[in-house]
Amino acid sequence: MGKALEGVRILDFTHVQSGPTCTQLLAWFGADVIKVERPGVGDITRTQLRDLPDVDSLYFTMLNSNKRSITLDTKKPEGKEVLSELIKQCDVLVENFAPGALDRMGFSWEYIQELNPKMIVASIKGFGPGPYAECKVYENVAQCAGGSASTTGFDDGPPLVTGSQIGDSGTGLHLALGIVAALYQRTSSGRGQKVSAAMQDGVLNLCRVKLRDQQRLEHGPLKEYPQYPHGEFGEAVPRAGNASGGGQPGWSLKCKGWETDPNAYIYFICQAPVWANICKVIGKEDWITDPDYATPDARLPRLKEVFDTIEEWTMTKDKFEAMKILNDYDIPCGPILSMKEIAEEKSLRDTGTVVEVDHPKRGKYLTVGNPIKLSDSHVDVGPSPLLGEHTDDILRSVLKFDEQRVAQIKASGALGDPKKAAAE
Ligand code: CAO
Protein backbone atom coordinates (compact mmCIF):
# COMPACT_ATOMS: atom_id res chain seq x y z
CA MET A 1 0.00 0.00 0.00
CA GLY A 2 1.34 3.45 -0.87
CA LYS A 3 1.42 6.49 1.39
CA ALA A 4 -0.49 9.73 0.96
CA LEU A 5 2.59 11.97 0.66
CA GLU A 6 4.90 9.51 -1.08
CA GLY A 7 7.25 11.36 -3.41
CA VAL A 8 7.12 14.60 -1.38
CA ARG A 9 10.47 15.63 0.05
CA ILE A 10 10.59 17.97 3.03
CA LEU A 11 13.60 20.03 4.04
CA ASP A 12 13.01 20.11 7.76
CA PHE A 13 14.71 23.10 9.31
CA THR A 14 12.64 22.93 12.48
CA HIS A 15 13.54 22.65 16.14
CA VAL A 16 11.99 22.37 19.60
CA GLN A 17 8.30 21.42 19.35
CA SER A 18 6.07 23.45 17.03
CA GLY A 19 7.88 22.80 13.73
CA PRO A 20 8.89 19.18 14.52
CA THR A 21 5.22 18.33 15.27
CA CYS A 22 4.35 19.42 11.75
CA THR A 23 7.13 17.57 9.95
CA GLN A 24 6.60 14.41 11.99
CA LEU A 25 3.00 14.30 10.76
CA LEU A 26 4.16 14.80 7.18
CA ALA A 27 6.65 11.94 7.64
CA TRP A 28 3.89 9.70 8.94
CA PHE A 29 1.87 10.48 5.84
CA GLY A 30 4.81 9.23 3.77
CA ALA A 31 6.93 12.30 3.00
CA ASP A 32 10.72 11.94 3.02
CA VAL A 33 11.65 14.35 5.81
CA ILE A 34 15.27 15.48 5.96
CA LYS A 35 16.03 17.21 9.23
CA VAL A 36 18.92 19.68 9.01
CA GLU A 37 20.74 20.09 12.31
CA ARG A 38 23.70 22.03 13.57
CA PRO A 39 26.82 19.80 13.73
CA GLY A 40 27.69 18.54 17.19
CA VAL A 41 24.62 20.09 18.75
CA GLY A 42 21.48 19.26 16.82
CA ASP A 43 18.00 20.20 17.86
CA ILE A 44 18.29 21.58 21.39
CA THR A 45 15.62 19.16 22.60
CA ARG A 46 17.97 16.21 22.07
CA THR A 47 19.57 17.17 25.38
CA GLN A 48 16.65 18.82 27.18
CA LEU A 49 14.76 17.00 29.97
CA ARG A 50 16.94 13.93 29.56
CA ASP A 51 15.95 10.89 31.61
CA LEU A 52 18.94 8.78 30.54
CA PRO A 53 22.54 9.97 30.23
CA ASP A 54 23.91 10.47 26.70
CA VAL A 55 20.70 9.33 25.03
CA ASP A 56 18.39 11.55 23.00
CA SER A 57 15.61 12.76 25.26
CA LEU A 58 12.02 11.60 25.00
CA TYR A 59 11.21 15.22 24.18
CA PHE A 60 13.20 14.77 20.97
CA THR A 61 12.37 11.16 20.14
CA MET A 62 8.62 11.76 20.49
CA LEU A 63 8.65 14.66 18.00
CA ASN A 64 11.04 13.40 15.35
CA SER A 65 10.01 9.86 14.38
CA ASN A 66 10.47 8.67 10.84
CA LYS A 67 12.80 11.53 9.82
CA ARG A 68 16.34 11.47 8.46
CA SER A 69 19.02 13.67 10.01
CA ILE A 70 21.83 15.51 8.26
CA THR A 71 24.23 17.74 10.14
CA LEU A 72 25.12 20.91 8.32
CA ASP A 73 26.57 24.23 9.38
CA THR A 74 24.53 26.52 7.19
CA LYS A 75 26.61 29.53 8.08
CA LYS A 76 29.69 28.14 6.35
CA PRO A 77 30.01 28.61 2.57
CA GLU A 78 30.14 24.84 1.98
CA GLY A 79 27.12 24.40 4.25
CA LYS A 80 25.23 27.01 2.25
CA GLU A 81 26.22 25.17 -0.91
CA VAL A 82 24.74 21.90 0.40
CA LEU A 83 21.63 23.69 1.65
CA SER A 84 21.15 25.26 -1.79
CA GLU A 85 21.38 21.84 -3.40
CA LEU A 86 18.89 20.45 -0.92
CA ILE A 87 16.49 23.28 -1.71
CA LYS A 88 16.63 22.29 -5.36
CA GLN A 89 15.79 18.68 -4.48
CA CYS A 90 12.97 19.30 -2.01
CA ASP A 91 9.33 20.32 -2.33
CA VAL A 92 8.83 22.07 0.99
CA LEU A 93 11.12 23.89 3.41
CA VAL A 94 9.70 24.04 6.93
CA GLU A 95 11.28 26.29 9.55
CA ASN A 96 10.51 27.80 12.92
CA PHE A 97 13.55 29.92 13.63
CA ALA A 98 13.32 33.21 15.43
CA PRO A 99 12.11 36.00 13.11
CA GLY A 100 14.68 36.95 10.48
CA ALA A 101 17.06 34.01 11.11
CA LEU A 102 16.59 32.44 7.68
CA ASP A 103 17.22 35.80 5.98
CA ARG A 104 20.32 36.36 8.11
CA MET A 105 21.54 32.95 6.96
CA GLY A 106 21.22 34.24 3.38
CA PHE A 107 18.14 32.25 2.42
CA SER A 108 15.45 34.83 1.78
CA TRP A 109 12.18 33.86 0.12
CA GLU A 110 13.37 35.51 -3.09
CA TYR A 111 16.62 33.55 -3.11
CA ILE A 112 14.86 30.27 -2.36
CA GLN A 113 12.46 30.96 -5.25
CA GLU A 114 15.41 31.58 -7.54
CA LEU A 115 16.85 28.22 -6.56
CA ASN A 116 13.55 26.39 -6.85
CA PRO A 117 10.39 28.22 -7.99
CA LYS A 118 8.27 25.24 -6.96
CA MET A 119 9.50 25.34 -3.37
CA ILE A 120 6.88 25.87 -0.66
CA VAL A 121 8.36 27.72 2.31
CA ALA A 122 6.41 27.09 5.49
CA SER A 123 7.16 29.03 8.66
CA ILE A 124 5.98 29.18 12.23
CA LYS A 125 6.56 32.38 14.15
CA GLY A 126 5.22 33.46 17.51
CA PHE A 127 3.26 36.39 16.11
CA GLY A 128 2.10 37.55 12.72
CA PRO A 129 2.87 41.04 11.40
CA GLY A 130 2.28 43.66 14.08
CA PRO A 131 3.84 45.02 17.25
CA TYR A 132 5.22 41.67 18.43
CA ALA A 133 6.37 40.29 15.07
CA GLU A 134 10.04 40.25 16.09
CA CYS A 135 9.53 38.46 19.41
CA LYS A 136 10.74 34.97 20.21
CA VAL A 137 7.94 32.81 21.50
CA TYR A 138 7.54 29.57 23.45
CA GLU A 139 4.41 27.55 24.17
CA ASN A 140 3.12 29.38 27.21
CA VAL A 141 3.76 32.81 25.73
CA ALA A 142 1.46 31.83 22.88
CA GLN A 143 -1.18 30.47 25.27
CA CYS A 144 -1.15 33.80 27.08
CA ALA A 145 -1.15 35.97 23.96
CA GLY A 146 -3.74 33.86 22.15
CA GLY A 147 -6.50 34.22 24.75
CA SER A 148 -6.23 30.79 26.32
CA ALA A 149 -4.69 31.74 29.67
CA SER A 150 -7.10 34.58 30.43
CA THR A 151 -10.01 32.19 29.97
CA THR A 152 -8.54 29.15 31.75
CA GLY A 153 -8.68 28.53 35.50
CA PHE A 154 -11.08 29.48 38.24
CA ASP A 155 -12.56 32.91 38.72
CA ASP A 156 -10.76 33.55 42.00
CA GLY A 157 -7.37 32.34 40.77
CA PRO A 158 -4.67 33.56 38.37
CA PRO A 159 -4.70 32.90 34.61
CA LEU A 160 -3.64 29.32 33.92
CA VAL A 161 -1.80 27.62 31.10
CA THR A 162 -3.03 24.22 29.96
CA GLY A 163 -1.03 21.01 29.62
CA SER A 164 -2.19 20.63 26.03
CA GLN A 165 0.49 22.15 23.84
CA ILE A 166 -1.92 24.21 21.83
CA GLY A 167 0.71 26.83 21.00
CA ASP A 168 3.38 24.45 19.76
CA SER A 169 1.71 21.24 18.62
CA GLY A 170 -1.48 23.13 17.76
CA THR A 171 0.38 25.50 15.44
CA GLY A 172 2.34 22.60 13.96
CA LEU A 173 -0.97 21.03 13.01
CA HIS A 174 -2.17 24.26 11.45
CA LEU A 175 1.04 24.53 9.44
CA ALA A 176 0.77 20.93 8.23
CA LEU A 177 -2.66 21.66 6.82
CA GLY A 178 -1.33 24.79 5.10
CA ILE A 179 1.50 22.79 3.55
CA VAL A 180 -0.80 20.09 2.21
CA ALA A 181 -3.11 22.78 0.77
CA ALA A 182 -0.13 24.52 -0.88
CA LEU A 183 1.09 21.22 -2.33
CA TYR A 184 -2.36 20.68 -3.77
CA GLN A 185 -2.52 24.19 -5.26
CA ARG A 186 0.91 23.66 -6.78
CA THR A 187 -0.47 20.81 -8.86
CA SER A 188 -2.42 23.41 -10.87
CA SER A 189 -0.35 26.60 -10.42
CA GLY A 190 3.03 24.94 -10.84
CA ARG A 191 4.43 27.38 -8.29
CA GLY A 192 5.48 27.31 -4.68
CA GLN A 193 4.20 29.77 -2.10
CA LYS A 194 4.79 30.96 1.43
CA VAL A 195 2.78 29.28 4.19
CA SER A 196 2.80 31.05 7.54
CA ALA A 197 1.26 30.10 10.85
CA ALA A 198 1.65 32.33 13.90
CA MET A 199 1.35 30.68 17.30
CA GLN A 200 -0.85 33.48 18.64
CA ASP A 201 -3.24 32.93 15.72
CA GLY A 202 -3.22 29.16 16.20
CA VAL A 203 -4.10 29.46 19.88
CA LEU A 204 -6.81 32.02 19.15
CA ASN A 205 -8.26 29.71 16.52
CA LEU A 206 -8.53 27.02 19.17
CA CYS A 207 -10.08 29.59 21.56
CA ARG A 208 -12.67 30.67 19.01
CA VAL A 209 -15.55 29.95 21.43
CA LYS A 210 -14.18 32.47 23.89
CA LEU A 211 -14.24 35.25 21.30
CA ARG A 212 -17.83 34.16 20.67
CA ASP A 213 -18.54 34.60 24.39
CA GLN A 214 -16.82 38.00 24.43
CA GLN A 215 -19.41 39.23 21.96
CA ARG A 216 -22.30 37.51 23.75
CA LEU A 217 -21.22 39.26 26.94
CA GLU A 218 -22.18 42.60 25.39
CA HIS A 219 -25.78 41.40 25.45
CA GLY A 220 -25.95 40.16 29.01
CA PRO A 221 -24.38 37.71 31.46
CA LEU A 222 -23.08 34.36 30.25
CA LYS A 223 -25.67 32.18 31.89
CA GLU A 224 -23.81 28.89 31.54
CA TYR A 225 -20.75 30.29 33.35
CA PRO A 226 -20.31 29.52 37.08
CA GLN A 227 -20.38 33.27 37.82
CA TYR A 228 -24.10 33.30 36.96
CA PRO A 229 -26.31 34.26 38.74
CA HIS A 230 -24.30 35.21 41.84
CA GLY A 231 -20.97 36.60 40.62
CA GLU A 232 -20.12 39.75 38.77
CA PHE A 233 -19.14 39.81 35.10
CA GLY A 234 -16.52 42.36 34.09
CA GLU A 235 -15.72 43.61 30.61
CA ALA A 236 -13.91 40.51 29.41
CA VAL A 237 -14.80 36.82 29.25
CA PRO A 238 -13.97 35.43 32.70
CA ARG A 239 -12.32 32.12 33.57
CA ALA A 240 -14.99 29.47 33.58
CA GLY A 241 -13.50 26.74 35.77
CA ASN A 242 -14.70 23.42 34.44
CA ALA A 243 -17.78 24.74 32.70
CA SER A 244 -18.39 23.35 29.26
CA GLY A 245 -17.49 25.61 26.35
CA GLY A 246 -20.62 24.60 24.45
CA GLY A 247 -24.37 24.86 24.80
CA GLN A 248 -24.72 21.83 27.09
CA PRO A 249 -23.63 22.57 30.68
CA GLY A 250 -20.93 20.36 32.16
CA TRP A 251 -18.65 20.06 35.19
CA SER A 252 -16.02 17.75 36.70
CA LEU A 253 -17.51 15.71 39.51
CA LYS A 254 -15.87 13.68 42.25
CA CYS A 255 -16.09 9.91 42.11
CA LYS A 256 -15.42 7.23 44.71
CA GLY A 257 -11.83 7.49 45.91
CA TRP A 258 -11.38 11.20 45.19
CA GLU A 259 -9.93 11.76 48.67
CA THR A 260 -6.74 9.92 47.73
CA ASP A 261 -6.77 9.73 43.92
CA PRO A 262 -6.41 13.15 42.25
CA ASN A 263 -7.97 11.75 39.08
CA ALA A 264 -11.05 10.09 40.60
CA TYR A 265 -13.34 12.44 38.70
CA ILE A 266 -15.78 12.23 35.84
CA TYR A 267 -16.77 15.00 33.47
CA PHE A 268 -20.54 15.09 33.37
CA ILE A 269 -22.59 16.80 30.67
CA CYS A 270 -26.18 17.76 31.43
CA GLN A 271 -27.34 17.19 27.89
CA ALA A 272 -30.90 18.52 27.58
CA PRO A 273 -32.38 15.62 25.56
CA VAL A 274 -31.42 13.10 28.27
CA TRP A 275 -32.48 15.20 31.27
CA ALA A 276 -35.12 12.63 32.24
CA ASN A 277 -32.49 9.87 32.20
CA ILE A 278 -30.17 11.95 34.37
CA CYS A 279 -32.96 12.46 36.91
CA LYS A 280 -33.72 8.74 36.94
CA VAL A 281 -30.09 7.70 37.44
CA ILE A 282 -29.55 10.03 40.39
CA GLY A 283 -32.97 9.33 41.93
CA LYS A 284 -34.45 12.81 41.40
CA GLU A 285 -37.46 11.87 39.28
CA ASP A 286 -39.39 14.89 40.60
CA TRP A 287 -36.98 17.18 38.67
CA ILE A 288 -38.26 15.74 35.39
CA THR A 289 -41.46 17.78 35.63
CA ASP A 290 -40.61 20.40 38.29
CA PRO A 291 -40.75 23.75 36.38
CA ASP A 292 -37.64 24.94 38.24
CA TYR A 293 -35.59 22.10 36.70
CA ALA A 294 -37.50 20.70 33.73
CA THR A 295 -36.04 22.95 31.02
CA PRO A 296 -32.46 24.00 30.19
CA ASP A 297 -33.30 27.70 30.80
CA ALA A 298 -34.87 26.95 34.18
CA ARG A 299 -31.75 25.03 35.22
CA LEU A 300 -29.23 27.74 34.29
CA PRO A 301 -29.47 29.72 37.55
CA ARG A 302 -29.38 26.41 39.49
CA LEU A 303 -26.49 24.65 37.78
CA LYS A 304 -24.37 24.55 40.92
CA GLU A 305 -27.16 22.85 42.87
CA VAL A 306 -27.80 20.47 39.96
CA PHE A 307 -24.16 19.43 39.71
CA ASP A 308 -23.78 19.17 43.50
CA THR A 309 -26.73 16.77 43.55
CA ILE A 310 -25.37 14.72 40.67
CA GLU A 311 -22.03 14.60 42.45
CA GLU A 312 -23.65 13.03 45.51
CA TRP A 313 -24.45 10.14 43.13
CA THR A 314 -21.10 10.03 41.28
CA MET A 315 -19.24 9.90 44.63
CA THR A 316 -20.86 6.52 45.26
CA LYS A 317 -19.27 5.01 42.10
CA ASP A 318 -15.77 4.80 40.76
CA LYS A 319 -15.26 6.73 37.50
CA PHE A 320 -15.44 3.63 35.30
CA GLU A 321 -18.61 2.34 36.99
CA ALA A 322 -20.18 5.76 36.61
CA MET A 323 -19.10 5.87 32.97
CA LYS A 324 -20.74 2.49 32.29
CA ILE A 325 -24.03 3.33 33.99
CA LEU A 326 -24.30 6.80 32.45
CA ASN A 327 -23.52 5.53 28.96
CA ASP A 328 -26.20 2.86 29.33
CA TYR A 329 -28.57 5.83 29.74
CA ASP A 330 -27.01 7.70 26.81
CA ILE A 331 -25.68 10.45 29.08
CA PRO A 332 -22.46 12.04 27.71
CA CYS A 333 -19.62 11.88 30.21
CA GLY A 334 -15.90 11.14 30.36
CA PRO A 335 -13.57 9.73 32.99
CA ILE A 336 -10.62 11.94 33.93
CA LEU A 337 -7.82 9.65 32.73
CA SER A 338 -4.33 9.97 34.12
CA MET A 339 -1.32 9.65 31.80
CA LYS A 340 -0.60 6.32 33.51
CA GLU A 341 -4.05 5.05 32.59
CA ILE A 342 -3.68 6.32 29.03
CA ALA A 343 -0.27 4.67 28.64
CA GLU A 344 -1.82 1.37 29.72
CA GLU A 345 -5.05 1.65 27.72
CA LYS A 346 -5.28 -1.31 25.37
CA SER A 347 -7.63 0.27 22.84
CA LEU A 348 -5.17 3.15 22.24
CA ARG A 349 -2.41 0.62 21.60
CA ASP A 350 -4.69 -1.32 19.25
CA THR A 351 -5.37 1.73 17.08
CA GLY A 352 -1.76 2.86 16.95
CA THR A 353 -2.49 6.06 18.85
CA VAL A 354 -0.08 4.96 21.57
CA VAL A 355 2.89 3.09 20.09
CA GLU A 356 5.94 1.37 21.48
CA VAL A 357 9.05 2.18 19.46
CA ASP A 358 12.50 0.63 19.61
CA HIS A 359 15.33 3.18 19.55
CA PRO A 360 18.91 2.04 18.85
CA LYS A 361 20.31 3.74 21.95
CA ARG A 362 17.33 4.21 24.25
CA GLY A 363 15.61 0.87 23.74
CA LYS A 364 11.82 0.74 23.94
CA TYR A 365 9.73 3.81 24.69
CA LEU A 366 6.16 4.91 24.21
CA THR A 367 5.09 7.64 21.86
CA VAL A 368 1.87 9.07 20.53
CA GLY A 369 1.36 7.81 17.00
CA ASN A 370 -0.56 9.54 14.25
CA PRO A 371 -3.93 10.64 15.63
CA ILE A 372 -5.20 11.12 12.06
CA LYS A 373 -6.07 7.81 10.42
CA LEU A 374 -6.18 7.39 6.63
CA SER A 375 -7.62 4.11 5.39
CA ASP A 376 -5.25 4.00 2.39
CA SER A 377 -2.07 5.35 3.99
CA HIS A 378 -0.75 3.12 6.73
CA VAL A 379 1.58 4.63 9.34
CA ASP A 380 4.57 2.71 10.69
CA VAL A 381 5.96 4.76 13.54
CA GLY A 382 9.73 4.43 13.61
CA PRO A 383 12.44 5.83 15.87
CA SER A 384 13.87 9.33 15.60
CA PRO A 385 17.24 9.61 13.82
CA LEU A 386 20.52 9.90 15.67
CA LEU A 387 22.28 13.21 15.11
CA GLY A 388 23.64 13.20 11.56
CA GLU A 389 22.75 9.53 11.08
CA HIS A 390 21.88 10.03 7.41
CA THR A 391 24.36 12.74 6.43
CA ASP A 392 26.36 10.54 4.08
CA ASP A 393 23.34 8.86 2.62
CA ILE A 394 21.64 12.18 1.84
CA LEU A 395 24.73 13.65 0.16
CA ARG A 396 25.10 10.59 -2.02
CA SER A 397 21.55 9.41 -2.70
CA VAL A 398 19.59 12.68 -2.68
CA LEU A 399 22.22 15.15 -3.90
CA LYS A 400 24.15 12.59 -5.97
CA PHE A 401 27.49 14.00 -4.80
CA ASP A 402 30.46 11.92 -5.93
CA GLU A 403 33.26 10.69 -3.67
CA GLN A 404 35.41 13.72 -4.31
CA ARG A 405 32.70 16.23 -3.54
CA VAL A 406 31.67 14.42 -0.36
CA ALA A 407 35.30 14.42 0.78
CA GLN A 408 35.62 18.12 -0.02
CA ILE A 409 32.51 19.07 1.97
CA LYS A 410 33.61 16.88 4.86
CA ALA A 411 37.03 18.48 4.94
CA SER A 412 35.49 21.95 5.15
CA GLY A 413 33.92 21.12 8.51
CA ALA A 414 30.47 22.07 7.25
CA LEU A 415 29.16 18.64 8.21
CA GLY A 416 30.83 18.69 11.59
CA ASP A 417 34.11 18.27 13.33
CA PRO A 418 37.22 18.50 11.02
CA LYS A 419 39.11 19.75 13.94
CA LYS A 420 36.03 21.61 15.12
CA ALA A 421 35.92 23.41 11.79
CA ALA A 422 39.53 24.51 12.13
CA ALA A 423 38.80 25.82 15.59
CA GLU A 424 35.94 27.96 14.17
N1 CAO B 1 23.80 25.87 11.14
C2 CAO B 1 24.20 27.10 11.53
N3 CAO B 1 23.39 27.93 12.25
C4 CAO B 1 22.16 27.49 12.54
C5 CAO B 1 21.68 26.22 12.16
C6 CAO B 1 22.57 25.39 11.40
N7 CAO B 1 22.21 24.18 11.00
N8 CAO B 1 20.43 26.08 12.61
C9 CAO B 1 20.13 27.21 13.28
N10 CAO B 1 21.16 28.06 13.25
C11 CAO B 1 21.24 29.40 13.81
C12 CAO B 1 20.21 30.35 13.27
O13 CAO B 1 20.54 30.81 12.01
C14 CAO B 1 20.22 31.42 14.34
O15 CAO B 1 21.29 32.29 14.10
P16 CAO B 1 21.16 33.91 14.19
O17 CAO B 1 20.56 34.18 15.52
O18 CAO B 1 22.59 34.34 14.07
O19 CAO B 1 20.32 34.36 13.09
C20 CAO B 1 20.57 30.65 15.63
O21 CAO B 1 20.94 29.35 15.18
C22 CAO B 1 19.48 30.52 16.64
O23 CAO B 1 18.22 30.20 16.06
P24 CAO B 1 16.89 30.67 16.77
O25 CAO B 1 16.93 32.16 16.96
O26 CAO B 1 15.72 30.18 16.05
O27 CAO B 1 16.98 29.90 18.17
P28 CAO B 1 16.84 30.47 19.64
O29 CAO B 1 17.25 29.33 20.49
O30 CAO B 1 17.52 31.75 19.84
O31 CAO B 1 15.27 30.71 19.77
C32 CAO B 1 12.95 30.09 19.68
C33 CAO B 1 14.39 29.64 19.93
C34 CAO B 1 12.07 28.86 19.71
C35 CAO B 1 12.52 31.07 20.78
C36 CAO B 1 12.87 30.79 18.30
O37 CAO B 1 13.39 29.92 17.33
C38 CAO B 1 11.46 31.20 17.91
O39 CAO B 1 10.90 32.18 18.42
N40 CAO B 1 10.88 30.49 16.93
C41 CAO B 1 9.59 30.81 16.37
C42 CAO B 1 8.48 30.45 17.27
C43 CAO B 1 8.49 29.00 17.65
O44 CAO B 1 8.45 28.10 16.84
N45 CAO B 1 8.46 28.76 18.94
C46 CAO B 1 8.19 27.42 19.43
C47 CAO B 1 9.30 26.81 20.07
S48 CAO B 1 8.72 25.36 20.86
O49 CAO B 1 8.20 25.90 22.34
Of ligand 1's listed atoms, the one at least distance from the Cα of 16 is 48
Residue 308 pLDDT > 90: yes
* Residue 41 CB less than 6 A away from ligand 1: no
Of ligand 1's listed atoms, the one at least distance from the Cα of 13 is 8
Of ligand 1's listed atoms, the one at least distance from the Cα of 72 is 7
* Residue 16 CB less than 6 A away from ligand 1: yes
pLDDT (average), residues 142-159: 97
User: Is 168 a known active-site residue?
Assistant: yes
Of ligand 1's listed atoms, the one at least distance from the Cα of 100 is 19
pLDDT grade for 423, boundaries at 50, 70 and 90: low
Residue 363 pLDDT > 70: yes
Of ligand 1's listed atoms, the one at least distance from the Cα of 71 is 7
Pocket test for ligand 1, best of 44, 75, 97 (most atoms within 8 A of CB): 97
Q: Whole-angstrom Cα distance, residue 256 to residue 326?
A: 15
* 122-145 confidence digits (pLDDT tens): 999 999 999 999 999 999 999 999
Q: Whole-angstrom Cα distance, residue 314 to residue 253?
A: 7
Pocket test for ligand 1, best of 34, 136, 201 (most atoms within 8 A of CB): 136
Query: What average pLDDT does the structure give for the chain?
Result: 96
Report CA(159)–ligand 1 centroid distance (Å).
28
Q: What is the DSSP string of 332-362?
A: -EEE---HHHHHH-HHHHHTTSEEEEEETTT
Strand locations in 241-320 (E)? 250-254, 265-269
pLDDT (average), residues 97-123: 97
Residue 421 pLDDT > 70: no
Is the peptide bond preceding residue 335 cis, with omega within 30 degrees of 0? no
pLDDT at 417: 77
Residue 247 pLDDT > 60: yes
Report CA(98)–ligand 1 centroid distance (Å).
5
pLDDT at 230: 83
* Cβ(120)–Cβ(92) below 8 Å: yes
The number of residues in the chain equals 424
Q: What is the DSSP string of 117-176?
A: TT-EEEEEESS-SSTTTT----HHHHHHHTTTGGGSS-TTS-----SS-TTHHHHHHHHH
* Residue 136 CB less than 6 A away from ligand 1: yes
* 58-82 confidence digits (pLDDT tens): 999 999 999 999 999 999 999 999 9
**Which residue's alpha carbon is nearest to atom 25 within ligand 1?**
98
Q: Which amino acid is at 303?
A: L
Residue 419 pLDDT > 90: no
* Cβ(151)–Cβ(162) below 8 Å: no
pLDDT (average), residues 319-339: 98
Report CA(100)–ligand 1 centroid distance (Å).
10
* Residue 74 CB less than 6 A away from ligand 1: yes
* 17-32 confidence digits (pLDDT tens): 999 999 999 999 999 9
* Residue 197 CB less than 6 A away from ligand 1: no
> Model-level pTM?
0.96
**Which residue's alpha carbon is nearest to atom 35 within ligand 1?**
136
pLDDT grade for 245, boundaries at 50, 70 and 90: confident
- A 10 A CB-CB count for 349 gives 15
Residue 391 pLDDT > 90: yes
* Cβ(387)–Cβ(47) below 8 Å: no
pLDDT at 424: 60
Report CA(73)–ligand 1 centroid distance (Å).
13
> Which residue out of 91, 168, 213, 318 is catalytically annotated?
168
Pairing type for strands 92-95 and 120-125 reads parallel
**Which residue's alpha carbon is nearest to atom 14 within ligand 1?**
101
Secondary structure element (H or E) that encloses residue 365, with its range: strand 363-368
* Residue 168 CB less than 6 A away from ligand 1: yes
* Residue 405 CB less than 6 A away from ligand 1: no
pLDDT (average), residues 308-319: 98
pLDDT grade for 45, boundaries at 50, 70 and 90: very high
Of ligand 1's listed atoms, the one at least distance from the Cα of 74 is 1
Report CA(125)–ligand 1 centroid distance (Å).
11
